[in-house]
């Protein structure tokens, strides 16, 4: 670690994937992935369907654990310097540090307030004023406070699709994670809602580190600082977004960006 430090002269990455192989049973899904995610930056993962970008994202908070045969077969994933696949890692704490927002908005069938407070409640927070404060802060971050402050106890399922997705973001950031993973958060939304969430992402990057999977290259350009391009389970190129889109080093990247294949 210390060698990395001096060599790069940048702060240590919050997430670092090192030489990682990942497989579902016998079929290998990811090959030898190396990725560094920097603090307070938005990192986008792009690539054609089935290239493993969602799998890679889910490796960072071990959501793949639920798939019985899924294994990291080589290498490691470090979050704040700790390999999260070590036996002594507490999954509950890991997921408190690494929040996640899903492709389709999935608020619980509870009130708006309870949705946001859920993360804190399961981590044992009972103090009403702490919860109130966290709900207000999270909803403000998710640009929902002004819209919803008068009906915090309405059912979350009564909200519009875009509001629901922003509520899910608020719920994910209520526990103040270091990293926020977003798995195609806008793919089910209309353009206006998408715009709102993209605006939100710039704000969020001030407080959190964001890793976003997207199939929309324009979105990657608009929101991200770094972009990783994956193809068939391999990380083809990882570079600052501007550089990757204007001056790709790899032929494959260039071909993908030009739309020769998808």
Partner 1 sequence: MNSLPTPSRPPLRSVLLRSRKHTILGFDPQKLIKYFFGSNASVAIIVLVLIMVFLLREGIDFLPTYQRELQTYRRAGLEFCDIIDQPLQKNQTLSSSLRQALSASLETLSKTARDRRDAAFLLKRQVEDKSARPRESLAQALEKAPQDPGQIDVLRRELGAATAAAVKAVDYPELFTQAEREQLEREFAALTPEVTDLPPMLQTLVEDFNVKDREAKTKFADLVTAQEEFEEAAEPLQEVLDELKAKALETKEKAVEFEVLETNRQRLLEAAATESDPKEKASLTKEAEESVAETVNLEESIKEITGRTAELREQVEKYAVVIEKAAADLPKDAGTGAARKLVNDVREGIPVHAREMRAAAAKLEDWHWDKPVSIFSVMGAFFFGTQWITNSSWQDFFGFVPLLTGSLVIAAIAILIATPVSVVAAIYTNQFASEREKELIKPVIEFIQAIPSVVLGFIGISLVGNLIKDVSEWSWLQWVPGFPIQERLNMFNAGCLLAFMAVPTMFSLSEDALNNVPRAYIDASDALGATKLQTVFRVIVPAGISGILSAILLGLGRVVGETMVVLLVAGNRIAIPDFSAGPGVIFQPAHTLTGIIAQELGEVSRGSSHWQALFMVGIVLFAISLLVNWCARAVARRFEPHKA
Which spans of this chain sit near partner 1 (rule: CB under 8 A)? Answer: 61, 63, 66, 91-96, 99-100, 102, 104-110, 118-119, 121-123, 155, 157-159, 161, 164, 168, 171-172, 175
DSSP bridge pairs for 23: 28, 71
**Min separation Cβ 69 and partner 1, Å:** 13
**Min separation Cβ 119 and partner 1, Å:** 4
Inter-CA distances, 42 with 31, 85, 204, Å: 23, 24, 9
**Min separation Cβ 217 and partner 1, Å:** 26
**Min separation Cβ 183 and partner 1, Å:** 10
Q: Is 197 exposed, middle or buried (0-12, 13-18, 19+ CB in 10 A)?
A: buried
Query: Judged by CB, which is closer to partner 1: 106, or 216?
Result: 106
**10 contacts: CB under 8 Å, gap ≥ 6:** 38
Query: Judged by CB, which is closer to partner 1: 141, or 231?
Result: 141
Q: Is 24 exposed, middle or buried (0-12, 13-18, 19+ CB in 10 A)?
A: middle
23: helix, coil or strand? Answer: strand
Query: Judged by CB, which is closer to partner 1: 98, or 152?
Result: 98
**Min separation Cβ 218 and partner 1, Å:** 27
Query: Judged by CB, which is closer to partner 1: 30, or 169?
Result: 169
| Pick from 18, 98, 21: nearest CA to 52 | 21
For residue 103, the tally of other CB atoms under 10 A from its CB is 15
Query: Judged by CB, which is closer to partner 1: 157, or 255?
Result: 157
Q: Rounded distance, CA 156 to CA 15, Å?
A: 32
């Amino acid at each position: 670690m210390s060698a990395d430090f001096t060599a790069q002269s940048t702060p240590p990455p919050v997430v670092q994937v090192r030489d990682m192989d990942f497989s579902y049973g016998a079929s290998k899904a990811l090959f030898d992935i190396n990725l560094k995610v920097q603090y307070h930056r938005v990192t986008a993962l792009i690539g054609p369907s089935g290239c493993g970008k969602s799998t890679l994202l889910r490796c960072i908070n071990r959501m793949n654990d639920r798939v019985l045969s899924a294994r990291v077969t080589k290498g490691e994933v470090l979050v704040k310097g700790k390999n999260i696949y070590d036996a002594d890692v507490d999954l509950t704490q890991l997921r408190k540090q690494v929040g996640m927002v899903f492709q389709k908005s999935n608020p619980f069938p509870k009130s708006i307030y309870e949705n946001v407070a859920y993360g804190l409640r399961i981590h044992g927070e009972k103090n009403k004023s702490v919860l109130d404060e966290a709900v207000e802060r999270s909803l403000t971050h998710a640009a929902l406070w002004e819209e919803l402050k008068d009906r915090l106890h309405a059912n979350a399922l009564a909200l519009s699709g875009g509001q629901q997705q922003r509520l899910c973001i608020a719920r994910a950031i209520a526990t103040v994670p270091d990293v926020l993973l977003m798995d195609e958060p806008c793919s089910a939304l209309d353009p206006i809602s998408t715009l709102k969430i993209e605006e939100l992402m710039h704000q969020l990057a001030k407080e959190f580190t964001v890793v976003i999977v997207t199939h929309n290259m324009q979105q990657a350009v608009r929101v991200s600082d770094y972009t990783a391009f994956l193809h068939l389970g391999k990380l083809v190129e990882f570079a600052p977004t501007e550089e990757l889109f204007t001056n790709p080093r790899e032929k494959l990247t260039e071909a993908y960006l030009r739309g020769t294949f998808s």
